[in-house]
Amino acid sequence: MYIKRNYSIKDMFSWTRKSILIFIILSLIPVLLYSGLRWYWLHIPWLPIGLIGTALAFIISFKNNASYDRLWEARKIWGGIVNASRSFAIRTNHFITNEHAKEKLSEKELFDIRKQLILRHVAWMSSLRHALRTPKPWEISHINKSDRDYVDKRFKVREHNFSLDSELTGYVTEEEKAYILSQRNKQAACLNLQSKQLLDLKEKGYIWEFSHLEIEKSLVEFFALQGKAERIKNFPYPRQFATLNRFFIWIFVVLLPFAIMHEFDHIGREVVEFMLQFKPYPSGGYHHLIEIIGRHSVWFTIPFNVIISWIFYTMERVGDVSENPFEGTLNDVPITTMSRGIEIDIRQIIGDEKSKIPKPIEPVYHTQL
């Protein structure tokens, strides 16, 4: 998630530079044919293009609103994981005691049990992170060259550079890790292990029955939050809308210069006719310069077409990168950073040694991932 106050112009142009080059070429070809070869018939009335542009603006707005809803829901889900994790840590820290135990344990032994549950919870978050970062066929950021060039040269997405096997090491036992990695839904396997241990602790009396129900409620909440995140990950923004939007954008971009070049040429002709009324020109060469500009005003099509096309295309791209909020791009929910923050909080709650608690993940180029 980009946390700098604003994107710089350099960032925006770097992200869309390939498209800008295409817009320049698409603008240059009709202008050369119109002005160079004098194919004056090569134009389209502005009215139908204006209608297409208006309809397209509504379509893009609808898509961006829907994409933002997906992004914001994803952020709320991980906000829920933050809160539920802290509640789980509090319950773990205070509900696991010798009060109803058949065989008393030392404070260190009780702490080791609490820490085991907390570390396994971190393993659950790691498994969930890796599942959410797994590329899907409809996600385009991992195959879009401009996105990959911009991200890969600056950032290292943890889930793309470290295996889940390595991330689970030190958080669960080797036996538990083998079990987790053997399951299709690895994050659900982590919660299953949690529930088994909690049941065992309840039967031995280290957790009171009603306290056990409260901790189990936390696991149920984790399952619910996991399911909500998986729903966003596994069900894309409807592809018929996404595909048609992109198709409509390029139709508009291709046709646009054929409409505006005639408009600029018409303006230029009116300027020339107006200037011819004043021949010979009064003193000052700028009158002659204005006439020259008027005769070649059709070339203003190129910069104006590029600007209009860039605005429409960029708004479409903003919707594209927002509709899948777990890909690992700059605009996604920073689940790696949030997971580390949760780990620090819950390990501090149970009183773990400061030297063993990892440091927060620092932003890179004002960006959290």
Give residue limits of the domains in the chain. 9-356
**How far, in Å, CA of 24 to CA of 149, rounded?**
21
Query: If pLDDT is split at 50, 70 and 90, which confidence band does 41 have?
Result: confident
Distances 335 to 72, 89, 229 between C-alpha atoms, Å: 13, 19, 11
pLDDT (tens digit, 9 = 90+) per residue, 137-194? 887 776 666 666 666 666 778 888 889 999 999 999 999 999 999 999 999 999 999 9
pLDDT (tens digit, 9 = 90+) per residue, 328-363? 887 789 999 999 999 999 999 999 999 999 999 887
pLDDT (tens digit, 9 = 90+) per residue, 4-30? 445 566 667 777 788 889 999 999 999
Kindly state the helix (H) or strand (E) to which residue 138 belongs, with its residue range. none
**Residues 163-171: contacts with CB under 8 Å, at least 24 apart:** 164/126, 164/127, 164/130, 167/126, 167/130, 168/123, 168/126, 168/127, 170/119, 171/119, 171/120, 171/122, 171/123, 171/126
pLDDT (tens digit, 9 = 90+) per residue, 73-111? 999 999 999 999 999 999 999 999 998 888 899 999 999
CB 19 within 8 A of CB 310: yes
pLDDT (tens digit, 9 = 90+) per residue, 196-230? 999 999 999 999 999 999 999 999 999 999 999 99
DSSP classification of residue 137: T
Token pair belonging to 264: 């600029």
**How far, in Å, CA of 223 to CA of 219, rounded?**
6
Q: What pLDDT, on a 0 to 100 scale, did the predictor assign at position 100?
A: 85
Q: What pLDDT, on a 0 to 100 scale, did the predictor assign at position 343?
A: 96
CB 267 within 8 A of CB 298: no
Query: If pLDDT is split at 50, 70 and 90, which confidence band does 366 have?
Result: confident
- Segments in the chain forming alpha helices (H): 9-31, 46-95, 107-133, 145-152, 158-161, 164-168, 174-182, 186-203, 209-234, 239-276, 286-295, 301-322, 335-349
Q: What pLDDT, on a 0 to 100 scale, did the predictor assign at position 146?
A: 63
φ/ψ of 364, rounded to 5, equals -115, 125
pLDDT (tens digit, 9 = 90+) per residue, 243-267? 788 888 999 999 999 988 888 877 7
CB 194 within 8 A of CB 97: no
Q: What pLDDT, on a 0 to 100 scale, did the predictor assign at position 139?
A: 78
Q: What pLDDT, on a 0 to 100 scale, did the predictor assign at position 5?
A: 47
Mean pLDDT over residues 276-297, rounded? 62
